[in-house]
Amino acid sequence: MSGLPSSIVSTSSHIDRLAHILSYVLHPAMLMIVTVALISLRTRSSPVWILLDLGILILGLLPGLLYITIKTRKGEFSHYHLLLKEERRIALPLFFAGLLGSFLLYRWTQAPLPMMRGMAIGLLAGLGAILISRFWKISLHAAVAMGCAGLFLPISGMTVGLFAVLGLIVGLARLRVHHHTPAQVIVGWIYGFGMGSLSVLWLGNIASH
């Protein structure tokens, strides 16, 4: 890049920095928290219940997040975003176990049906991601964003569009920082939206019978 004009180098550096920031701001955990907040706002009548819903989700995310943080700070993991599929073999099951605990707590607190469906869909998609990660590295950033979009299909078209745009943005950001190949991002988009939308239809049919 030394032969390029300084203005082009500077612009490229700014884009790279923005892509890194977006990878953290649109992290799967952050998108899940936003999703639970939106569902809770639509279905709960008290701010206390909304805070409880968020607390239950964060409690479920903590084991996986702490594990990744500790391993990365010790230098045992390549990056906080798990650049190697082998690093996901324990981290993803930890997230799954934590979110299963959140699901049971939501059930115990009699969370509204949309919340329970959302968590069930997340668990199904998470189980699939665990299996895929045994032999390939799908983009979880892209998958979770598009999964959230699919989740809102029967609830709000505007929210579907918002999450879809965020999914496209974060997928491109993951390509920019060279953490994924185009195939990994594209499959993440397809897998996330497919699991989210099809699971909504499937769970809706079960509930109607």
How far apart (Å, rounded) are the C-alpha atoms in residues 35 and 66?
21
Instruction: Phi first, then psi: give them for residue 78, nearest 5 degrees.
Output: -70, -30
44 alpha-carbon distance from chain centroid: 23
Question: Would you tell me the crossing angle of helices 113-132 and 182-208 to the nearest 10 degrees?
Answer: 140
pLDDT for res 10: 56
How far apart (Å, rounded) are the C-alpha atoms in residues 134 and 21?
28
Write the pLDDT tens digit of every residue in 98-114: 999 999 999 999 998 88
- Per-domain boundaries in the chain: 7-208
Write the pLDDT tens digit of every residue in 3-38: 545 544 456 788 889 999 999 999 999 999 999 999
pLDDT for res 207: 42
How far apart (Å, rounded) are the C-alpha atoms in residues 83 and 80?
8
Give the Å distances, CA to CA, from 149 to 3, 17, 72: 43, 26, 30
How far apart (Å, rounded) are the C-alpha atoms in residues 100 and 172?
30
Question: Which residue in 152, 194, 195 sits closest to 38, CA to CA?
Answer: 152
CB 125 within 8 A of CB 102: no
pTM greater than 0.95 (yes/no): no
pLDDT tens, per residue, the chain with 209 residues: 445 455 444 567 888 899 999 999 999 999 999 999 999 999 988 899 999 999 999 999 999 999 999 999 999 999 999 988 899 999 999 999 999 999 999 999 999 888 998 899 899 999 999 999 999 999 999 999 999 999 898 888 999 999 999 999 999 999 999 999 999 999 999 999 999 888 777 665 444 44
